[in-house]
Amino acid sequence: MNYDPTLEFARRLDEADALRAFRGRYALPRDAEGEPLVYLCGHSLGLMPLAARGLVLEELDDWAQLAVFGHEHARRPWIPYHENLRDGLASLTGARATEVVAMSSLTVNLHLLLAAFYRPSGARRRIVIEAGAFSSDRHAVASQIAWRGLDPEEALVELSPAAGADTIAEESIEAYLEEQGDKVALLLWPGVQYRTGQAFDLGRIVRAAHRAGCVAGLDLAHSIGNMPLALHDIDADFAVWCSYKYLNGGPGAIGGCFIHERHDPPHLAGWWGHEAATRFHMGPEFQAAAGAAGWQISNPPILSAAPLIASLALFEQTGLHRLRQKSVALTGYLEYLIDRLAPDLQLITPRAPDSRGCQLSVRVNGPPGRGQRVFDTLTARGVIGDWRQPDTIRLAPTPLYNTFADVFRGAEALGRALREQR
């Protein structure tokens, strides 16, 4: 696309945008004067679908009026509540409906899946993750290794980018697995890396793991609702995600997981994973429900699941394919503007659209403290991204509710902040 660095041009792109009406379906945060902020922070916490309020209120009303009878007689009965989310999640992840379940939260789900899929034996004991992984993923993996009586110093492998690079080439993951794969029990890889915004060819990574005889698990926190996914077809063994970023499910929203249908390993159990027909017989033996539903532990948190129903309905209306097309154009426009309006920034995120999602991560070079000052100035001007120590600003234009004009205003404010904060 031929871009132009003016607000008029951005507005013309917005007028031509077939998805522009969807912005009106979200609550836009505002500044003290009531003006909408330029919200480029969907990679951290997505905006509230307006319909979420009604759905939560319906659950509160049903609770008020029906109390315990709501389990069976609420408008959306609470016992099978997770089923309201199943098809939408399957469609976003490219999974069969029986392979996904909304439950619990990301790190807890990661622990549950590692408990089942991490089977160190003999020399094959390692878990491989990316260097600089999200702290919670690293804590989960290291503690799982230690919990099996093994030493994380030895069994936790963190693959780094080549010297001088910020991002990791798929070739180097393949090369590691070819050389050392017989010592690796499990590879846990992100769909999109949280700090750099790099998106990976997940099919290629899963194939490399399987060639080496390793389990391939995925963390999709920054991918779901952001990138097209095909978990069933790429043959991923398992995946976990949260729903408060691009899924717009709300703070602390219910998480989710995928378990490929060819797997049925022994796993930790709770009553909600029991086959539904006999769950309330309360017998001592556990009879797992079929598929991913059998991995549930506890009854679902209705109030943190209700907003996600509203959100998934919007994804269904837009379709991920159209969203992705707009996302590539929005993020491409941000990249173009940063190159022109803020040229002393260093783009960490790959430039190839296939190797990134919505997010761009930029490094602010200069004297100590400059990056934080630039970021604070940006925030004071109503442009909301986030800051990652020591030097990185993350900005994510999100196709459901951001406009090209948002992107222009964000980049323009960034350029101004950089000129002011030397």
Residues forming the site for ligand PLP (CB under 6 A)? 105-107, 134, 136-137, 190, 194, 219, 221, 242, 255
- CA-to-CA dists, residue 46 to 57, 144, 250, 251, 325, angstroms: 20, 30, 7, 9, 19
Residue 257 or 347: the one with the smaller Cβ distance to ligand PLP is: 257
Question: What Cα–Cα distance (Å) separates residue 96 from each residue in 182, 266, 274?
Answer: 31, 21, 20
Query: In angstroms, what is the minimal distance from the CB of 104 to ligand PLP?
Result: 9
Least separation in angstroms between CB 394 and ligand PLP? 11
For ligand PLP, the nearest residue by Cβ is 107
Distances (CA, A) of 329 to 31, 92, 403: 27, 20, 11
Element (H, E) at 285: none
Closest to ligand PLP by CB, 222 vs 381, is: 222
Residue 153 CB contacts under 8 Å (≥ 6 apart), including other chains: none
CB 422, min distance to ligand PLP, A: 32
Buried b (16+ CB within 10 A) or exposed e, 26-42: bebeeeeeeeebbbbbb
Question: Least distance in Å: CB of 88 to ligand PLP?
Answer: 19
Query: Of 409, 352, 354, 369, whose CA–CA distance to 385 is shortest?
Result: 409
Between CA 421 and CA 414 the distance in angstroms is 10
Between residues 134 and 404, which has the closer beta carbon with respect to ligand PLP?
Answer: 134
Closest approach of Cβ 374 to ligand PLP, in Å?
A: 23
> Do residues 223 and 108 lie in contact, with contact meaning Cβ atoms separated by under 8 Å?
no
What is the smallest separation between the CB atom of 221 and ligand PLP, expressed in angstroms?
4
**Cα 256 → chain centroid:** 10
Choice between 259 and 337, CB closer to ligand PLP: 259
- Token duo for residue 174: 């393949």
Distance CA 324, CA 328 (A): 6
In terms of Cα–Cα distance, which of 285, 225, 252, 306 is closest to 52?
306
Nearer to ligand PLP, 102 or 221 (CB): 221
What is the nearest approach in angstroms of ligand PLP to the Cβ of residue 11? 33
- Please identify, using beta-carbon distances, which residue of 5 and 350 lies nearer to ligand PLP: 350
Q: For the CA atoms of the chain, what is the radius of gyration?
A: 22
- Nearer to ligand PLP (CB atom), residue 121 or residue 389: 389
- Measured from the CB atom, the residue of 105 and 398 that comes closer to ligand PLP is 105
Q: How far is the CB of 257 from ligand PLP (least distance, A)?
A: 12
How many Cβ atoms sit within 10 Å of the Cβ of residue 266? 9
Q: Give least dist CB 205 to ligand PLP, A.
A: 16
How many Å apart are CA 306 and CA 267, to the nearest integer?
27
Q: Which lies closer to ligand PLP via its Cβ, residue 194 or residue 401? A: 194
